[in-house]
Amino acid sequence: MSNKNSTKELREIFLSLKTGIKALKSGMVVLEKGLSKLEKDILNINKEALEKLHKMISKEFEALKFVEEKEESVEIKIEKIEIEPEMEEKTEVSKPAEIESAEEIKIGFYNKTLGKLYDRLHREFSDLYTVLKRAEKTKIGEVDKGEVICRVCNMGPCKVVEGVEELKGICGADASLVFARNFARLVAAGVSAQADYAKSIVETLNDIVKGEIPFKFRDKRKLKMFAYALGINLEKSEEEILNEVVDKISKIFFQQKGELILAHRAPKTLIEKWRKYEVMPRGIDREITELIYRTSLGVDQYYKNILFASLRCALADGWGASMIATELQDILLGTPQPVRAQVNIGKEVIREDMVNVVVCEEDPLVAEALIQASKDLEILKLAKKAGAKGVNLVGLGCAGNEILMRKGFPVAGSFAYQEAVIATGAVEAIVGRLIPNVVQIANRFHTAVITTNPISLMEGAICVEFNRKYPLKSAKEILKIAVSRYSKRDSTRIYIPDEAIETVSGFSAEALMYVMGGRFRAGLSILNENIINGKILGIALISGCDQFGANENVQVELAKELISNNVLVFSTGCSAIKLGMAGLLVPEASQLAGEGLREVLEAIGCPPVLNMGSCVSNSRVLTVLTEMVNTGGLGKDICELPVIICLPQWVNEKALSTIMCFVSSGLQVVFDPGNLIVENKKTNKFLFEEVEKYFGGSIRFAKTANEFSGIIIDRIKQKRKELGIDQLRPRIFYDMAMRRTLDEKRYISSIHKSGFFEILENRSIN
């Protein structure tokens, strides 16, 4: 009886709590609406109102903001790198033919926004060399099939031709060796980019732990989950756990022996394969330096051995550097959750009445500080004085995708939009890691080009060194430069095509588990079940960059073809932004999906293309795939899943390390090699066929959307057949013994273990 009573009481308490939380939530909605109305009114009026707004915004940001920076006397280093005059003594070269008019630019545009803005640039500034003009005039041209160039030593460069003895390199290197060396160096460069990025986040966290950076980390649940993966005792205090995480991770980069601990997160079968074929990575830096050394003349002269080393180095990226960067960013700034935001250029994205600052900055702390500084009273006053209503931050490219994922900030476009966004005539500053040609475009407008790190300077740009100990002050210096440019803006030259579109982004692995399984049973069993029953044919990740001047919008055509064939699409990097611009990142796009996929998507209210973040977030894909294997029903290893990876366009070397990491993790990767390869029979045989025998992954080449989709659907069907889920299975009636076996096998996701769930509960209520 008393038990019954206490259950009843508990039930009542629970229901009251639930009602209370609901009321709190609706109160928050009303408060937010009121706040945005107030913002509109206040920005037009007087000082008191401005201060009132500041107070309200400060309160809103209290939980997120940098702690007050006390030492105001600190100087933020600002340096303008002047463009050096051309040397008087010029090298005699045959100049490319002049382009007389815009009509002569033959490169087409995959979308009308870019078309309109480049058309403007080419018509108004016929003497200006945009990237598109350079792409037509500067490229050396195709390397003949079977030819590779080697520059490894000073006896060369050598042009080496496949299968022609007299056209080996001076040292005797054949085409397969030269290709393997060139390829390995690109992979090492890609891994080093992700490693350096990850290190900067480790440093930030380290400085926060020491109290040197005035910032509080946000995601306690993620901290615990990551600590668990590192084998840290979770009984310790949060501070101790954080200290230990930073300590352990810092050592991973320089570890010389043993195994990369995060690689142990992979399925057991895969770990055994890595051990057997000796590609289990050690420390991240160790793999990078060794790979570069091995490609020197006189060291590793066997192409297969070099390619194996590339696979090992790439694993140190996906399961090491990229995973560290992703996890630590989540701990620091919060794990992304689905959020609505606009992408592409539009009047709500680039604001005519505000100081527009385009953020293309990889360092998450810079973006975070800029967000806070844009609400600072001093900056708001300056903006108001200059005649603007405030400062509007807009993301761009992969880095923009990170801000979008966490904050719902608009993203003006992909990597290929760097020049076009300036051509709107309404951008006061573009901040971050940019292509050098941007300076020339910016000089025709009033835009300041700003870099924030002394390792990425550029002639004609201003470097505002981001001082991590004074993030807010550094960010304010950047915004002051932007605000000072507002008065130089020529309002008659503003041209903002209004083509922005809404997206839903923020599908981290955790978010996906909540979307698929609900709050109290977050997991991927629904995903697996629907793959097994055939409603979802399989999964394709569309990753990679955006090429300037590409004619076919390959990613978009491909995604449409795939979802109509019931393939669920994951996406990262600039590809995700392109898919967003095509309207595929909203739940309404499920109408374009095949019947089975649509049924699942409509039940859970999910878009058919899931934006999982920047290219560093490819590690989220590895986490999801491992979780799918652990959930059960689809084999014991990643290579058994009906999943495929594709990179229709790539620009940066990081793409090559991504490709090799997925291959060695057991997945087929389809990509457009561009001018990289090569009709090299030996290396192609290795990458297309042999490597599959070791790890289950392989490489395929494709150029058009049709070629990509053909390969992808065939591969997914092949995997379904191997799993025996290509046909409807007869219904099985379970007896008790069979049910007990099922119970024994039940998998509990780590998201539910060791008190993580309780932490999440606390976080949500607070």
How many amino acids of this chain bind ligand SF4 (CB under 6 A)? 14
- Residue 267 in tokens: 């399925």
Task: Write b or e for each residue in 520-544: b if 16 or more Cβ atoms lie within 10 A of its Cβ, otherwise e.
Answer: eebbbbbbbbbbbeebbbbbbbbbb
Q: Considering only residues 607 through 636, tell me which ones interact with ligand SF4, judged by CB under 6 A.
A: none
User: Minimum CB separation from ligand SF4 for residue 244, in Å?
Assistant: 46
**CB atoms closer than 10 angstroms to residue 101:** 9
Beta strand 339-343 with 501-505: parallel, antiparallel or unpaired?
antiparallel
Beta strand 147-150 with 339-343: parallel, antiparallel or unpaired?
unpaired
Which range touches ligand SF4 (CB under 6 A), out of 12-20, 150-158, 591-599, 680-688? 150-158
Q: Which of 20, 27, 96, 157 binds ligand SF4 (CB under 6 A)?
A: 157
* 171 sits near ligand SF4 (criterion: CB under 6 A): yes
User: Minimum CB separation from ligand SF4 for residue 647, in Å?
Assistant: 28
Which range touches ligand SF4 (CB under 6 A), out of 164-172, 232-240, 495-503, 746-754? 164-172
Residue 445 to residue 422: CA distance in whole angstroms: 8
User: Minimum CB separation from ligand SF4 for residue 469, in Å?
Assistant: 46
Q: Is 32 exposed, middle or buried (0-12, 13-18, 19+ CB in 10 A)?
A: exposed
* 292 sits near ligand SF4 (criterion: CB under 6 A): no
Do 567 and 590 meet the contact criterion of CB atoms below 8 Å apart?
no
Do 217 and 209 meet the contact criterion of CB atoms below 8 Å apart?
no
State which amino acid sits at residue 717.
K
* 161 sits near ligand SF4 (criterion: CB under 6 A): no
In this complex, which beta carbon is closest to ligand SF4, that of residue 102 or of residue 171? 171
In this complex, which beta carbon is closest to ligand SF4, that of residue 160 or of residue 279? 160
Dihedral of CA atoms 44, 48, 51, 55 in degrees, nearest 10, equals -110
User: Minimum CB separation from ligand SF4 for residue 164, in Å?
Assistant: 13
The DSSP 8-state label assigned to residue 466 in this structure reads -
First and final CA of the chain: distance in angstroms?
35
The Cα-based distances of 382 to 388, 392, 539 in angstroms read: 9, 14, 50
Task: Write b or e for each residue in 304-316: b if 16 or more Cβ atoms lie within 10 A of its Cβ, otherwise e.
Answer: bebbbbbbbbbbb
* 155 sits near ligand SF4 (criterion: CB under 6 A): yes
Q: Considering only residues 294 through 353, tell me which ones interact with ligand SF4, judged by CB under 6 A.
A: 297
In this complex, which beta carbon is closest to ligand SF4, that of residue 229 or of residue 297? 297
* 169 sits near ligand SF4 (criterion: CB under 6 A): yes
Q: Which of 49, 81, 153, 586 binds ligand SF4 (CB under 6 A)?
A: 153
Which range touches ligand SF4 (CB under 6 A), out of 171-179, 411-419, 515-523, 581-589? 171-179
* 182 sits near ligand SF4 (criterion: CB under 6 A): no
Residue 281 to residue 255: CA distance in whole angstroms: 10
Contact pattern for ligand SF4 over residues 242 through 281, marking x by CB under 6 A: ----------------------------------------
The DSSP 8-state label assigned to residue 411 in this structure reads B
* 143 sits near ligand SF4 (criterion: CB under 6 A): no
Contact pattern for ligand SF4 over residues 93 through 132, marking x by CB under 6 A: ----------------------------------------
In this complex, which beta carbon is closest to ligand SF4, that of residue 14 or of residue 302? 302
In this complex, which beta carbon is closest to ligand SF4, that of residue 152 or of residue 357? 152
- Residue 517 in tokens: 């399984």
Residue 357 to residue 410: CA distance in whole angstroms: 12
Q: Which of 170, 494, 738, 765 binds ligand SF4 (CB under 6 A)?
A: 170
* 150 sits near ligand SF4 (criterion: CB under 6 A): yes
Contact residues for ligand SF4, defined by CB under 6 A: 150-153, 155-158, 169-171, 173, 178, 297
